[in-house]
Structure 1
Amino acid sequence: MPFTPFHMGPGILIKSLLKGSFSLMVFGWTQIVMDIQPLIVLITGEGHLHGFTHTYVGATLIAIFAALSGKYLSELGLKILRITENGAPISISWWVVYLSAVIGSYSHVLLDSIMHADVEPFFPFMFDNQFLEIVSVSMLHKVCLYSGLIGAAIYFGIAWHLKGKIK
């Protein structure tokens, strides 16, 4: 299903580990961009549900687009939410933006490859999906959910610990 929140679980874990070297907003934007093509197919009933956007070649192009647009959208979102760093607006560096978009698009292809038979992750070089059902869909959902919960616990646990050290 397009725009599934399960993709965000691993992103939250990565954010908790990489902190300022990873943008969860750019990662999330990339998840949305990845699923625009399947959404169009669901609405129109025409096309390949998990088509070119769900290949690693397509994911590379999506990552570039998501990075270029996501940097400015994320910085605007942070400004609207009034999230600052020492009172100044946050600027996300380009290397963080690209890293976050690449991780977002490639992880999306991997996760969807495990659960969707129509994904051809290595197209046009290979037409089969070697990741299909390497774990059950139920287990995949649990891994995504638990990685998000663990990531949130790490992120807020470190923030709580550091807040106590500052005082």
Structure 2
Amino acid sequence: MPFTLIHMGPGILIKSLLQGRFSLMVFGWTQIVMDIQSLIVLISGEGHLHGFTHTFIGAILIALLAALTGKYLSELGLKILRISKSDNPTSIVWWVVFLSAFIGSFSHVLLDSIMHWDVEPFFPFTLDNHFLGLTSVSTLYKVCLYSGLVGAAIYYGINWRLKREAK
């Protein structure tokens, strides 16, 4: 996928459904961390574009790294953006951080496995990619885009209703 942005669509939908039990910032950070290896390959011209980081075992390691770093980066971002809750203005609980990072890394591998021939999601057990071509790239992009639009509508609809009921 074109560098992580399209991966955010499903994350926005998940955020709308889980609300405070999911961190979109940690999910987004995980998308970036997932593609650092691909960026290095694109810049250097050497290596496997979708290498170890785009396997499910690699996704576990990336999720752990993204969770441990993303919690603090996300809390800083929330503080800077002044997005807060009344009980603790900048804290994201650890289980939400890990859930968000794992959903982010596993969904990234799955989505990239559908469209990239060089992704080997089950390495080292098999080099086969049974997800490849599950749907067309065009359909995959549409699913990601529409899930983001639907998620945004749900998220803002729920928040609008909650604010209205609080009055």
Class of the TM-score when normalised by the shorter of the 2 chains: over 0.9
Name the residue aligned to 1:148.
148
- 1:87 deviates by 7.5
Deviation at 1:88, TM superposition (A): 4.3
Alignment identity in percent?
77
Please give the per-residue CA displacement for 1:50-71, whole angstroms capped at 9, x wherever unaligned. 0000000000000000000000
Q: Letter of the aligned partner of 2:160 in structure 1?
A: W
What amino acid maps onto 2:100 in structure 1? S
Equivalence for 1:76: 76
Counterpart residue type for residue 164 of structure 1: R
1:36 match = 36
- TM-score, with structure 2 as normaliser: 0.97
Q: Which residue of 1 aligns with 2:66?
A: 66
Q: TM-score, normalised by structure 1?
A: 0.97
* Number of aligned residues: 167
Structure 1 residue aligned with 2:136: 136
Consecutive unaligned residues in structure 2, runs of 5 or more: none
Q: Could you tell me which residue of structure 1 aligns to residue 12 of structure 2?
A: 12
Q: Is the 8 A contact 1:7 1:108 kept in 2?
A: yes
State how far apart, in whole Å, the 2-side matches of 1:162 and 1:24 are: 20
Please report the RMSD computed on the Cα atoms of aligned residues, expressed in angstroms.
1.0
Asked if the contact 2:76/2:90 (under 8 Å) is kept, the reply is no
Q: CA deviation at 1:3?
A: 2.4
